[in-house]
Amino acid sequence: MPSVCFYFQVHQPFRLRHYTVFDKDHKYFDDIKNKAICRKVANKCYLPANRLILDLIKQHNGKFKVAYSITGVLLEQLAEYAPEVMSTFDALARTGCVEFLAETYYHSLSFLYSRNEFKEQIYKHIETVERLFGMRPKVFRNTELIYSNDLVDVIESMGVFDGILTEGADKILGGRSANFIYTSPRSSRIKLLLKNYALSDDIAFRFSNRDWCEWPLMANKFSDWVNKVNGNGYNVNLFMDYETFGEHQWEDTGIFDFMRHLPGEIMKHPDNNFKTPSEVIASYPATDILDVPNVISWADTERDLSAWLGNPLQSSALHELYRMEQQVKLTGDSAILTDWRKLQTSDHFYYMCTKYFADGDVHKYFNPYDSPYDSYINFMNVMGNLEKRYKARLKANTAVTGG
């Protein structure tokens, strides 16, 4: 009996405006572009997809279920630029068929650089989700499904989570199936749900590819693939960006029609059902221990960190950013802290990626820069101004206290 577990990542960053070494103001983010993109994605994806999911939940009498992780930076933008989207997410929350997961509020790489900052962002995200949707997340997904054994140590120490989502990369499975639940050698309590990347990517990336041997992908065909897991797995985890629907895969590809028919096709088999991540964790035992000493992610063909740490530009920018942490926090200035945290969003470093091979088109998507080098220069110009701000504030604080 495979339980299908749909999880959608919902995220848009605060993009930086063009910022030069001659700029002196503290307005780092491009409000016009951020509003335009947020409205565009809301109309093409979030609104029609949310309405479709609501319809499917009602149509199938609550038997269709999904999970979302909505970043804090997007929640802020939706509240300001597309409040009608927030009302549809609220409606989804009230169905009882939707689970909201926790992650870093700023969709950051803080796990790799600062465990204190990492935890602070998670708690901020938990509080926001609970305030907005009335549920306290019990399952965690790290930015871009970044994971290693060390992550389990941190997450378990927080005492609030039952499970973690990550990538079902072949290199960590060693011939085993992603369609089972695992635990880490560091904890028998925290359960690991692994993305079935083949089936997930059939929808997220290959759906509209006319050169794909399986095109066109119809709901009954995909359901047949899911049915083959019967007897060889407990769960089929379909993890993908929510923007798959209407943005990555445009409406005219048939992606919404595919999704409209998929739950019914899957549930034609009497052994199939849909579960949220928490329900999967509660329903099935872990079958084995998964040892992941080296960090993985769900990005690109390598499933590693090279999308954000693959060149010296990225490494330099990240090192300088996290070098500021202690002094930024010592200022006690909430505006400086918020700007510093918005700069942590992983997209800023993704735009600096110089990989233009198999994954080139992915790295160009919604990229506001002509080149990775332009991205790096712009980011470092902003960083230079932020450094001046926090140093001036620290100096002022010292003068007031007479230190």
Query: Catalytic positions, please?
Result: 144
Under 8 Å between Cβ of 88 and 51: yes
Under 8 Å between Cβ of 26 and 339: yes
Residue 112 CA to residue 389 CA, distance in Å, equals 25
> In degrees to the nearest 10, what's the CA dihedral of 9, 214, 2, 256?
50
Grouping H, G, I as helix, E, B as strand and the rest as coil, residue 290 is: coil
Phi and psi at residue 7, to the nearest 5° = -130, 130
Phi and psi at residue 178, to the nearest 5° = -75, -5
Residue 245 CA to residue 126 CA, distance in Å, equals 26
Which amino acid is present at 313?
A: L
Cβ contacts of 43 within 8 Å, gap of 6 or more: none
Tokens coding 19: 């910022």
Residue 241 CA to residue 204 CA, distance in Å, equals 7
Residue 381 CA to residue 320 CA, distance in Å, equals 12
Please classify residue 133 by burial: count the beta carbons closer than 10 Å to its beta carbon, then call 0-12 exposed, 13-18 middle and 19+ buried: buried
Q: Output the DSSP codes for 263-289.
A: HHHHTTSTT-EE--HHHHHHHS-EEEE
